[in-house]
Every structure is written in C-alpha cells, then in structure tokens.
Amino acid sequence: MSFICIKNGDVYAPEHLGKKDILICNDRIIDISDSIDIGSFPYEVEIFDAEGNKVIPGLIDQHVHLTGGGGEKGFTSRVPEIKLSHITESGVTTVVGLLGTDSYTRDVETLLAKTKALNEEGITAYCLTGAYSIPSVTITGEVGKDIAFIDEIIGVKVAISDHRCSNPTTEELIKLASETRLASLVSGKVGEVHMHTGSGKKGIGQIFEILENSDLPVKHFRPTHMRKSDEKNVVKLTSLGGYADYSSTENGADMKAQDIIDAIAAGADREHITISSDSNGSLPKWNEKRELIGITYAKMTSLFGQVKALVAKGMNFEDALPFITSNVAKALEIDDRKGSLKTDKDADVVILDREMNVDRVFAKGKLMVSGGKAVIKGFFEE
C-alpha cells in the first residue's frame, strides 16, 4: 500500500472547508481532517506540506479533441493530438474526448485508442462516438452498440446550428437521442448527446422542440459553446434540469466570464452550468460570408484560466470552481468518484501555488505534476 498526506492546505472541496489534512491510500482519499497524526501511523507516509496553498479537486474537462481537431484550412491545419503533460499541467485529471469538424481523416477508433492510452498513463479518460455529421460515425456501426459495449464511450457527439454541420432535423435528433438513451439504460452510463452549437439561427431551439415532441428527458441533451446570445435559452434549459456548457478561452476570458455571470443573474441555475476547454480543437474565424479568414486552436490551460477570470470579475472562488469540478461530475454521472474531495472518492487532487497557478497534481493518488511541470509524461514525450 502507498500512503500520501497533504497537510495544512486551504481546502476547497469545492466548498470551502478551510485548513485540512488529506490522507490518500493508493488511489483513494481515506481521510480529510483538521489534523492527521502521521507520527503514530503504522505505515510509511509521503508528506506534502500545502501550508498557505489552496487545495482543490482535479479538474474535469468534458470537451477535448484528444486526437486533434481542425482541418478547415486544408490538411496542414489539422491540429495535433494532445499530450498527457498538457492535460496534467493544466490541473486536469479527467477528460472526455470527441471528434470535431473532421471525421474524414480522423475516426472514432483512433479516438478510442487515445482514450485507452491516457487511462493507461494514469488519468481518467472517456470519449464519445459520432462527430459533426448525421448519420454518426461509429465503431460498431450503431451509436447504441458503441455506448452499450465499449466501456470508455459514454455518449454521442453531434453538431447543430452551424454552417459546417449536417443540419439534422428535429426528428433525426429525436431518433439519435432515443438510441443513446436506450443504450445508456442498458449499460448504466450517462448517455449524453453532446451538441456542438454554432452561431447559426436556430441556436439550441431544437432541444426545446424535442422536449415538446417526445418523451425524452432533458438530462441527455448537452449543448456546448454557449454564448451571450444563448442567455435566455440557457436560463430555460437549466430551469428544466438540463446542463449548459460554456467553452473557456484564453483571448476574451473576461468577456466569457461576463456571459456566465450575466446568465446566472438572468436566472440560470449555476449548479447546471459547466465549462470545458475545447482543447486541441480548431478556432476558425469566419467573415459574414462564412469565408475563413483566420484559424488557431484551443488550449487546456484556458480551463482554470476561465475560473480565475470569473474570480477577477468578483465571483467567489468556491462558487466558480464547481463549473469545472462537481457540476461536471454530476452532469456526467461520475460524481460518486469524481469532482469533489471526499473520503472514498478518487484521489484526484490539485495544489495551487500562492499565485493561483497549478503547482502539484495527483491523479488517482499518483503524483503527475510537481512545481508546475509534469513528472510523468506520455510514452513518446521528450
């Protein structure tokens, strides 16, 4: 058995617990107390002193292009796959991978292989079948079979309200969601229909059409890339018990933070708002004619950066932190293991330095980052 004790940290679980010690055995948290007496402990314990530092749950990023996104400017614009060190150095210990615009040169098989590799390398990884297009690209030939029989696959990706998508009809989305729901019931998974939402005319209006014209529960529909123009619909969706996901950003983090703050002020349920990074996905810039005039890609460091932007805007840290921890865990139905610091949960723990930067990261009890730099890297990382 391996034991680690993080002592004297200012613990946000994500609720603020104050100064606590955290005892880890192998991959689980076994105690959180005011003071844990290591001197009388019968086993050797590695101690990390977090005096003066905040200690938080490992972050959960539910929208990551693990194998890279892009391609809108030709083959040279394909974004490379993400590295393990880029994930852990961002404070992230759980990811959900997916495909993006390009399901021609990328496939679900490769995405699944990358997901399996990340699990082997020490973090927790899931993925989605499907991509932008309808019918969905899959491994088995059916969305439902992918979800039911492949452990890592917990739902399906689709795109709506975007000039690059297949413009699925409401009936097609109902069929896709129905298949996903049935597979989720059989397999005991969340069965999310993760919906890339572009800046098109419909927004997330089709979700409400589906809810009005079917018996499907709102919990399956997960629109992402929410923006200021979606504010009224975010309020409506979260009031029904659905989750709305905002994409973090490095450029314009203050503006995105204000969008989230405004949505909550307008009545959105803060417990049903999440943030994801869209890491390694392309960030194309289009003119009014839908012509590409620029392109870059998202980085995972923006995830915690978005929380810091919310705090800079006046939000309490313990109110902002759930957007990338406990809220996401509940949305993905993995909150029995992830998203908070509690006994018997996975030992996914991040220690921040005094400037609120990621200092140390433990994934399932294993030290992955120290001094802000990865001590365990991916197989071919230098």
Q: What is the pLDDT of residue 288?
A: 81
Can you give the pTM of this predicted structure?
Answer: 0.96
Residue 102 annotated as catalytic: no
Supply the pLDDT for residue 202: 86
| CA pair distance 351, 29, nearest whole angstrom | 15
**Domains, the chain:** 3-56+343-374 (2.30.40.10), 58-331 (3.20.20.140)
- Cα–Cα distance list, 43 to 1, 181, 204, 346, 349 (Å): 9, 47, 54, 20, 21
Relative to beta strand 16-25, strand 3-12 is: antiparallel
* Rounded alpha-carbon distances, angstroms, from residue 174 to 164, 218, 220, 235, 261: 20, 12, 11, 22, 32
* 101-134 pLDDT per residue, tens: 889 999 999 999 999 999 999 999 999 999 999 9
Q: Check 21, 259, 278, 346 and give the catalytic one.
A: 278
Report the pLDDT value the prediction gives residue 292, as an integer from 0 to 100. 66
pLDDT tens-digit readout, 284-294? 776 887 776 67
The three-state (H, E, C) secondary structure of 14-48, written as one string: CCEEEEEEEEEECCEEEEEECCCCCCCCCCCEEEE
Where helices occur in 70-169 by DSSP H, the ranges are 84-88, 108-121, 143-149
Residue 373: half-sphere exposure toward Cβ, Cα within 13 Å? 3
Q: Rounded distance, CA 319 to CA 358, Å?
A: 19
Interacting residues of 140 by C-beta distance below 8 A, sequence separation 6+: 146, 149, 150
188-191 long-range contacts, Cβ below 8 Å, gap at least 24? 189/147, 189/154, 189/155, 189/333, 190/154, 190/155, 190/219, 190/331, 190/332, 190/333, 190/334, 191/147, 191/154, 191/155, 191/220
Angstrom distance (rounded) from CA 280 to CA 114: 14
pLDDT of residue 224: 97
Q: Which residues of the chain have pLDDT under 50?
A: none
